[in-house]
Amino acid sequence: MKKILLTGGSGMVGRNFLEHKKSKNYEILYPSSNQLDLLDNNGVYEYLNQEMPDLVIHCAGKVGGIQANVLDPVGFFSENLIIGTNLISNSYKLGIKKLINLGSSCMYPRVANNPLKESYILSGMLEPTNEGYALAKAAVAKYCEYISNSDKSFKYRNLIPCNIYGKYDKFDGINSHLIPAIIAKVHSAMEKCSRSVEVWGDGSARREFMYAEDLADAMYCCIEQIDLLGNYTNIGNGYDLSVNDYYKSVIKVMGYKGDLTYDLSKPVGMVQKVVDISNIKKIGWSPAWSLDEGIRESYKYYLNRSDL
């Protein structure tokens, strides 16, 4: 596999993938939305037919935190479903044999034993705060599974990362996930000399966050060993921490001296979500970045980002 089509090349995952040291081993196409509109089915077919990549990696999507998902379930469902099915159906139609789809741990039931095994997907009710997004991601992942099961020559695989943070993340209040949101809030508090930072809920909910460079590294490992992958493969640290723990780590790294206050009226999502990484460990991959290292690099990026 030498020629790769990467969707979502301008996003956090895509940009970390493109900057990885192994990217030089491949010819990677990463068209902008102006060059390839994934919502345009005919346009997707024409682009794929012209380029005929050896492998498609689907990272593009409409993403956001709890607040963004609650405000726009229609957009999160429809856009992610359409772009996923357009890409997969046309890849299949043109005989492109290998495709890696980035799913989401949101596909797992709201109530399930942790760590979450790949076999648990769609085995129970989804988390209501991001149900639209989760349903779209699950449908696209199932599409890959059906194709691979019906014709073994097609290796359409789903990677399911835990929550990701790092360089090229979103730090605004609507679209950001937990760690970048904490970084932005703590930085603002430091600038304003505020004595406290607000936490949604009581801080006891548990989450698993992995630095984006680790995900990029895992993706290259999976490309190189795609024949060994099952239909679904979790990628993560293999352990979780409480929301309070993440706040404390950010506060320590950034040197903030204030306190935490709690707004118990705010939504917090699932009580716990940590993925089982047994399958990816079998092919020899494990994460390299510690939480403090990842937060330190993310804060450097936040301070130097181009939109300041």
Q: Which of 47, 133, 143, 165 is catalytic?
A: 133
**241-242/206-207 β-pairing:** antiparallel
The amino acid sitting at 262 is Y
- Residue 133: active-site member: yes
Mean pLDDT of 199-218: 95
Q: What is the DSSP secondary structure assignment for residue 153, as one 8-state letter?
A: T
Whether residue 115 has a cis bond before it, omega within 30° of 0: yes
Q: Which residues lie closer than 8 Å to 193 by C-beta, 6 or more apart?
A: none
Query: How far apart, in whole angstroms, are the C-alpha atoms of residue 47 and residue 154?
Result: 20
**Tokens at residue 257, please?**
């001296």
Say if residue 178 is exposed, middle or buried (CB neighbours under 10 Å; 0-12, 13-18, 19+): buried
In this prediction, residue 307 carries a pLDDT of 59
Confidence band (pLDDT; 50, 70, 90) for 63? confident
Helix (H, G, I), strand (E, B) or coil at 177: coil
In this prediction, residue 175 carries a pLDDT of 65
In this prediction, residue 176 carries a pLDDT of 77
Give the range among 18-32, 226-240, 261-275 with minimum mean pLDDT.
261-275
**Tokens at residue 4, please?**
């790769």
Q: Who has greater pLDDT, 128 or 268? A: 128
Tokens 């593009």 belong to which residue?
Answer: 60
Query: Which backbone phi and psi does 83 adopt, to 5 degrees?
Result: -65, -35
- pLDDT at 272 > cutoff 90: no
Report the half-sphere exposure of 175 (CA within 13 A, side-chain side). Answer: 11
Query: Which backbone phi and psi does 148 adopt, to 5 degrees?
Result: -65, -35
Q: Are 302 and 187 contacting, i.e. CB atoms less than 8 angstroms apart?
A: yes
Tokens 């809030």 belong to which residue?
Answer: 185
**What stretches of 123-271 adopt beta strand conformation (E)?**
155-161, 163-165, 196-200, 206-207, 209-211, 232-235, 241-242, 259-263
Q: Are 7 and 58 contacting, i.e. CB atoms less than 8 angstroms apart?
A: yes
This prediction has a pTM of 0.92
Mean pLDDT of 5-28: 97
